[in-house]
């Protein structure tokens, strides 16, 4: 198999294969790191029995790896996984361009440069983490600064900032670097949008001077496989937050959105239908005190599916949680 996902939370046995890359969530020690690219996500785990959750993508195909420009990457013939961390302090703020905006633009330009050099042109999925995402500095919320830098890089690198854009999440942590993991491939992703939501790249200017550059989901095709990546999904209908202050309402609305994205993906899929119960979920909860309510609500909505709960900030101050998910199917021929 080209890519197998393994998680320390899961009972699914590890097949043969070598790590292409992965993530450590919780309190990943600052000590020895694996040799493969790892995104360390320093955020409290909720309801976990161990201090760290380890997730990896394994492959049976031959690997090549490298590092430059603060990117650590590893690839096989068809898929590349990389992690990039930039310190905002290394970017001087300029009039009209904050350090975070400059760092975000530089991060994405470096990613695109690597993908060009590696002939791995199609960006499939991006995991974005930044400090103090809702903090307003220089008159603009930091998430909105990030959006300007990200969109600038897509445009500067001739990628286009709408339609054919990757699945993503953008999450706030207490401190730390601008921390971005990405998966790219030799084959194009099929972007999936949600009929219940305005596409994020078409959000009106109420949500910032530049729209976020991501698709609601992506179907991607490592050899012999179809993977559905569902982007961070929140309680947004149209472009507006719904159920402010009501975490259970937001939970139900987020799952209604995931169900709608799943239905869209199922119109476009090549493998058997994707089901909510087979997805692997990562749930970001803004307030740790909401965790019991969120878990109870999700249990009734998705049953016993695999879920990692993390305490983290969401990109709008009125959003109390965000849910992302993925599933992988073998292709018939
Ligand atoms: C939303 O739907 C919620 O900026 O990359 C979800 C997924 C969200 C990705 C991003 C933001 C991003 O607008 C926030």
258 has pLDDT over 80: yes
Q: Rounded mean pLDDT of 267-278? A: 97
29 has pLDDT over 90: no
Going by pLDDT thresholds of 50, 70 and 90, the confidence category of residue 16 is confident
In the CATH hierarchy, which fold is given to the domain comprising 3-330?
60s Ribosomal Protein L30; Chain: A; (3.30.1330)
Mean pLDDT in the chain? 96
Read off φ and ψ for residue 160, nearest 5 degrees. 80, 145
Q: Which residue has the tokens 């959003």?
A: 319
Tokens of 237: 């209908």
Going by pLDDT thresholds of 50, 70 and 90, the confidence category of residue 98 is very high
Q: Whose CA is nearest to atom 13 of ligand 1?
A: 200
CA of 118 to the centre of ligand 1 (A): 28
Going by pLDDT thresholds of 50, 70 and 90, the confidence category of residue 321 is very high
- Residues with catalytic function: 322
Q: Would the pTM of this model clear 0.85, i.e. be above it?
A: yes
324 has pLDDT over 90: yes
CA of 146 to the centre of ligand 1 (A): 12
Tokens of 304: 């016993």
Query: DSSP per residue over 303-321, as a string?
Result: TT--EEEEE-B-SSTT--E
Report whether 223 contacts 319 (CB < 8 A): no
1 has pLDDT over 70: no
CA–CA distance, 196 with 296 (Å, rounded to integer): 25
Nearest C-alpha neighbor of 274 from the set 239, 215, 309, 226:
226
Largest CA distance in the chain: 55
Q: Is the CB of 191 under 6 A from ligand 1?
A: no
14 has pLDDT over 90: no
pLDDT, tens only, 30-72: 677 888 999 999 999 999 988 999 999 999 999 999 998 999 9
For residue 172, the cross-strand partners are: 130, 313
CA of 229 to the centre of ligand 1 (A): 13
For the chain, the structural domain boundaries read: 3-330
Give, for 52, the enclosing helix (H) or strand (E). Answer: strand 52-59
Q: What is the pLDDT of residue 323?
A: 98
CA of 1 to the centre of ligand 1 (A): 30
Report whether 266 contacts 313 (CB < 8 A): no
CA of 131 to the centre of ligand 1 (A): 15
Q: Is the CB of 320 under 6 A from ligand 1?
A: no
11 has pLDDT over 80: no
Report whether 39 contacts 22 (CB < 8 A): yes
Helix (H, G, I), strand (E, B) or coil at 215: strand
Q: Whose CA is nearest to atom 14 of ligand 1?
A: 315
Nearest C-alpha neighbor of 306 from the set 47, 21, 103:
47
152 has pLDDT over 70: yes
Lowest mean pLDDT among 170-184, 220-234, 294-308: 294-308
Burial class (CB in 10 A: 0-12, 13-18, 19+), 143: buried
Query: How many CA atoms within 13 Å lie on the side-chain side of 44?
Result: 12
Q: Is the CB of 212 under 6 A from ligand 1?
A: yes
Q: Is the CB of 169 under 6 A from ligand 1?
A: yes
| Top mutation candidate among 100, 168, 196 for ligand 1, by most atoms within 8 Å of CB | 168
| Top mutation candidate among 141, 194, 214 for ligand 1, by most atoms within 8 Å of CB | 214
Report whether 183 contacts 222 (CB < 8 A): no
Atom of ligand 1 nearest to the CA of 197: 2
Q: What is the pLDDT of residue 268?
A: 98
Query: DSSP per residue over 140-200, as a string?
Result: EEHHHHHHHHHHHHHHHTT--SSSS--EEEEEEESS--EEEEEEEESS--EEE--TTB--G
């Amino acid at each position: 198999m080209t890519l197998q996902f393994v998680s320390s939370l899961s009972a699914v046995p590890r097949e043969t294969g070598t790590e292409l890359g992965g993530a450590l969530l919780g309190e990943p020690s600052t000590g020895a790191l694996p040799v493969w690219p790892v995104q360390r996500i320093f955020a409290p785990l909720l309801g976990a029995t161990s201090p760290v959750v380890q997730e990896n993508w394994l492959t049976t195909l031959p690997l090549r790896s490298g590092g430059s420009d603060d990117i650590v990457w590893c690839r096989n013939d068809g898929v590349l996984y990389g992690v990039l961390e930039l310190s905002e302090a290394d970017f001087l703020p300029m009039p009209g361009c904050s350090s975070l905006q400059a760092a975000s633009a530089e991060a994405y330009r470096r990613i695109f440069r690597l993908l060009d050099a590696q002939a791995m042109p199609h960006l499939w999925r991006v995991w974005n983490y930044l400090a103090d995402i809702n903090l307003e500095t220089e008159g603009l919320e930091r998430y909105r600064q990030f959006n300007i830098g990200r969109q600038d890089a897509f445009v500067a690198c001739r990628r286009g900032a709408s339609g054919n854009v990757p699945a993503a999440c953008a999450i706030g942590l207490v401190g730390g670097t601008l921390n971005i993991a990405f998966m790219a491939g030799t084959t194009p992703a099929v972007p999936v949008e949600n009929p219940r939501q305005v596409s994020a790249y078409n959000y009106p200017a109420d949500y910032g001077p530049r729209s976020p550059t991501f698709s609601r989901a992506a179907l991607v095709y490592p050899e012999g496989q179809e993977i559905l990546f569902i982007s961070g999904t929140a309680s947004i209908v149209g472009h507006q937050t719904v159920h402010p202050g009501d975490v259970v309402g937001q939970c139900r609305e987020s799952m209604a959105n995931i169900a709608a994205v799943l239905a869209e993906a199922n119109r476009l899929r090549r493998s058997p239908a994707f089901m909510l119960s087979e997805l692997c979920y990562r749930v970001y909860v803004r307030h740790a005190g909401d965790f019991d309510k969120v878990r109870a609500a999700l249990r009734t909505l998705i049953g016993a599916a695999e879920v990692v709960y993390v305490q983290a900030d969401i990109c709008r101050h009125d959003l109390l949680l965000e849910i992302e998910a993925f599933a992988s199917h073998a292709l018939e021929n």
